[in-house]
Chains A and B, each alone.
Chain A
Amino acid sequence: MSVIAILLLPLVAAALVCLPFKKVWASGVTVTSSLAVLVLTARIAWMVSLDKTVVSGLKAGVLKWISVDGLSALILLLIAFIGAAAAIFSVGYMAHGNYKPKKLRLYYANYNLFIFSMLAIPVFSEPTLVWIVVELTTLASALLVSFENTREALEAAWKYVVLSLMGAGFALLGFLLLFAAMQASGSKEAYTWSGLVNAAHSMPPVLLQMAFLLILIGLGTKVGLVPMHTWLPDAHSQAPSPVCALLSGIETSVILYVILRLFPVMRASPNSHAGTWAIVLGLISVGAAAFLLMQVSDYKRMFAFSTIEHMGIILTAVGLGASAANYGAVWQIVSHCVTKSFCFFAAGAVLLSAGTREISAVRGLIRRSPAAGAALVFGALGITGAPPLAVFLSEFSILKAGLAQKHYIATGLLAVFIVIAFFGIMMQVNRMAFGVRENDSDAAVPDDHSGYSGHSTPGNRFHLPFSCSLALILTAVPVLVLGLYIPPPLQGLLSQAAAVLTMK
């Protein structure tokens, strides 16, 4: 039952925020509902991690396809956590923008719909239904990307929608072929993820492979794998920062989860090359993103490229295939989600205090706004995998698993690309936080901060809104703690999620 409540809450909230009350109402409702969702998902995740059962819903209509196992519980928990943090961050961030109340209500309504569609992905186990909710995430988030209504934002949203829907067309054919393969195998089971795994060995390999490739390409577009990635840096840099945190931190991982669901199916089928495809596509993504990282001029784009890099790492890890690598992959999903959303919150804080997205225009941030500067440096260290933090451990465990399996070339390339990305990001962030403006002596205005076009008065220290700092602290805790210590329930959940991927 509580699974259904999780889905209903954001919908109700989306309807409630449309009521024309004061400004506080919309944000308050959103924060409350997302916190409630967080509590409920934590309970479900707890139950799943304890007795390994699948939490099933009712037996009527769409609801009979609701089921939650280790992997989906983990994803569900992450969505709820990031959703709540981003809702809190939104309060301060959006209040800063001086939007009309109607526009704000629209923002929160869309926000809740977006959260709903993401929560629905891991909850449903019927592939075509999942395809439908994936479409819904695209549509709900498209309006969030175009929220600023500037020329750039509209362009980003347009590219995003057209490319994602194009991918969705391919994925639809993939899912329908999968259904055909299921029928051809003569299996009597329901068309669900687990039914697919059980029927996989007797499916015609041609159908299965064609379906897998179509889905990998189709949904890979939305994940941002490299040949199809062009929309991602645009959309992820133009949207308001809390939305970026959702898009980049969690949405890409959720879509990747749908692809990962296919791997047990492919492994059960004789001579499928799913692993090889994943490693090749993953490595291309990591490599291209690592090099593109170095020449960006916009720090939100930089983090967007880093998302592509991390998606590539996860896909490569799953492609490696052993249970240790799978464990590394799910761990990487967790650490990437919390760290990347932290990064985008930090980027949002920088944007609030500096008023520009150009890397070259932000210098000496640590003096101007110590909180934003420190957050940026911490986020950058976290996402590039500096030692005591969460991403370091997960990347390390993936590399270790790769070496243990004697995939020396893939692992070596992965390690090189990760190091390149580390230097790429740290170089830029270093200059932003500690650097001195080059054109200080630009004569006209002697003031050190004259270049800033922000809304805060130049020269003064900038103070972050309270809710922004709260969201930053909230996400910083797991970034730090998970690098040092993993609580036993989470550990159980992680290994169950990895077991779902390894499967028989």
Chain B
Amino acid sequence: MTAFGIVAMRQARGCLNLFIVQSLLLAASAALLGLRYQSVDLYGVALVNVISKPVVVPWLLRRTSPAEIYTRREVDQALNIPTALLIALALAILAYFLGLPLLKAVAPEFRGPNVPIGIAGLLLGAFTLTVRREAVPLLIGLLAMENGAFLCGIAVSRNLPLLIELAIATDGLIIVFIMGVLTRTVQKQIGTTAVGELAALKEAPVRSAQKEETK
């Protein structure tokens, strides 16, 4: 499962489907942990994950942002793909080393591969955010970060109140909604979703043609 996890993470950048796979893996991992520790809460986490991320998130995304984004999906990155993959690999290794001292600190029954994978997920999500220029992959990068943090979280601690899980899941949905709305406005106003091109606001001494705030 660790291998699956990492492979899914590494290719998750760019594509909604891989995000769905990743979320399903997260849910499966939660369910497995629940099975091992007989914890009802972890089953709850798994259930919430299965419902919210693979089903509702894509639905919301398609509702809020125009379908046209999905038909033309040029892969436009700041770095080319081999370089990005190499950096991702380096990040995964870094995550493993970051995870080691943490693993020593938690109770022995929690020791497993999930902590480094979770941190790797977090870092790779952040990495995705920095190199992508299209709105939707950026959003998926954000959600992937959250997945990573969550995987790590459930790996080191049991019995997080179910209420919290639910709230975090709803929160993810609100994020998708707001970002979707923003994406749509960006597209309507500027005619592109390549948010990487938005770079007018800088500390430039002379700003060209400042728009008035009030009309």
Contact = CB atoms under 8 A, between A and B. Distances in A.
A62 interface: yes
Interface in A30-66: 61-62
Contacts of A454: 212
Would you call the interface of chain A mostly helix, strand, loop, or mixed?
A: helix
Contacts of B204: 297
A173 B114 CA distance: 13
Given A129-B164, A161-B179, A170-B122, A356 B156 contact: no
A210 interface: yes
A341 B98 CA distance: 41
A146 B179 contact: no
A132 B167 contact: yes
Contact of B156 (A157, A158, A176, A240): A176
Interface string B107-134: 1001000000011001001100100000
Interface in B172-198: 174-175, 178-179, 181-182, 185-186, 189-190, 195, 198
A206 B201 contact: no
B200 interface: yes
Interface residues of A, number: 64
B106 A292 contact: no
Contacts of B178: 139, 142-143, 161
B175 A154 contact: no
Interface string B130-159: 000001001000100110111011101111
B160 to A, nearest CB: 6
Nearest to B197: A155
Nearest to B177: A139
B68 interface: no
B36 interface: no
Contacts of A351: 213-214
B150 A210 contact: no
- Which residue, B104, B149, B195, has most C-beta atoms of chain A within 10 A? B149
Contact of B200 (A96, A152, A173, A183): A152
B76 interface: no
Nearest to B105: A204
Interface in A164-178: 165-166, 169-170, 172-173, 176-177
A350 to B, nearest CB: 11
Given A176-B157, A358-B207, A158 B164 contact: no
B82 interface: no
B175 A165 contact: yes
Contacts of A155: 195, 198-201
B102 A154 contact: no
A180 B158 CA distance: 8
13 contacts: A128-B160, A128-B167, A143-B178, A150-B211, A154-B185, A155-B198, A159-B198, A159-B201, A162-B142, A172-B146, A179-B157, A184-B107, A234-B201
Q: Which 6 residue pairs spanning A and B have beta carbons closest together?
A: A176-B153, A169-B145, A204-B105, A155-B198, A173-B149, A180-B157
Interface of B: 98, 101-102, 104-107, 110, 118-119, 122, 125-126, 129, 135, 138, 142, 145-146, 148-150, 152-154, 156-160, 163-164, 167-168, 171, 174-175, 178-179, 181-182, 185-186, 189-190, 195, 198-201, 203-207, 210-215
Given A97-B214, A158-B182, A169-B146, 14 more contacts: A98-B215, A132-B164, A142-B182, A151-B190, A154-B198, A156-B201, A169-B142, A172-B149, A172-B153, A176-B152, A179-B160, A184-B107, A207-B102, A207-B156
